[in-house]
Amino acid sequence: MILEIEGVLTPDAVADFRERLATAPWGDGRVTAGYQSALAKHNLQLPETSDAAVHLGSAVLKALAGSLLFQSAALPHSIFPPLFNQYAQGHTFGVHVDNAIRTHPASGARVRTDLSCTLFLSDPAEYDGGELVIEEGSGERRIKLPAGDMVLYPATTLHSVTPVTRGARIASFFWVQSLVADQGRRSILFDIDIAIQSLRQRIGDDDPALIALTGSYHNLLRQWATP
């Protein structure tokens, strides 16, 4: 499942992020890449332990905690501290798959990368190229979202970022270890949860069928989750 989520960050929050990132200490983006990814990766990245990365990463996590759609789709167990990258003119990231396990350099905590996330901080009009290309069974999907929007997709997919030919593409990226590792089961739970929310708005909270459906959702989550 590939899911686009609108308005994770407000316009004011995006403006604050961009102001802080304008003077941030950008470095070589290959520092966090695995062997195969490093061969294809050409961009800039904030050091994970820099003040800007830590401060803005905390702000991203706070925004995610308030996104009901993200919580429903990801069912997050752990979120790798958000990182920040910049693709200037000529930068690109060839086809690759993300590492299965990420280890935080400060805490040593390990996160299984069930889901990959890109939170866009540049509007599409600010740059040419820079599309996130995710390969699906039926072809590929090209994604270039407004600033403040994000995309959530399986970390198992092959994906790339096309070369930037004008301007700069700035984004936050991170990975999620879900309570439900299996993608198919996670999609089923998401569909049921969305149906529950829709029914709740139409018929209220007290309908017996809705209560039974909600119970079935939680029983499946209880069976499939690995907290």
Average pLDDT estimate for 217-223: 98
Query: 207 falls in which pLDDT band (50, 70, 90)?
Result: very high
Contact at 8 Å (CB) between 159 and 134?
yes
Q: Distance (Å, rounded) from C-alpha 117 to C-alpha 221?
A: 22
Query: 31 falls in which pLDDT band (50, 70, 90)?
Result: low
Q: Which pLDDT score, from 0 to 100, does residue 109 have?
A: 87
pLDDT of 195 over the 70 cut: yes
pLDDT of 44 over the 60 cut: yes
pLDDT of 171 over the 60 cut: yes
SS3 85: strand
Q: Which pLDDT score, from 0 to 100, does residue 40 have?
A: 74
Round the average pLDDT of the chain to a whole number and report it: 94
Q: Which pLDDT score, from 0 to 100, does residue 119 have?
A: 98
Average pLDDT estimate for 129-134: 98
Q: Can you list the alpha helix ranges (DSSP code H) found in 22-80?
A: 35-40, 51-65, 68-74
Choose among 195, 193, 185: nearest CA to 223.
Answer: 185
How does pLDDT run across 71-130, given as a tens digit for each residue? 999 999 999 999 999 999 999 999 999 999 999 877 888 999 999 999 999 999 999 999
- Scored b (16 or more CB within 10 A) or e, 42-81 reads bbbbbbbebebbeebbebbeebbeebebbebbbbbbbbbb
Query: 153 falls in which pLDDT band (50, 70, 90)?
Result: very high
Q: Which pLDDT score, from 0 to 100, does residue 107 have?
A: 81
Q: Which pLDDT score, from 0 to 100, does residue 216 have?
A: 97
Helix and strand counts by DSSP (H, E) for the chain: 6, 17
Helix (H) or strand (E) holding 190: helix 183-203
Q: Which pLDDT score, from 0 to 100, does residue 38 have?
A: 61
Domains and CATH numbers, the chain: 3-178 (2.60.120.620), 183-224 (4.10.860)
Q: Distance (Å, rounded) from C-alpha 59 to C-alpha 131?
A: 24
Q: Which pLDDT score, from 0 to 100, does residue 33 have?
A: 59
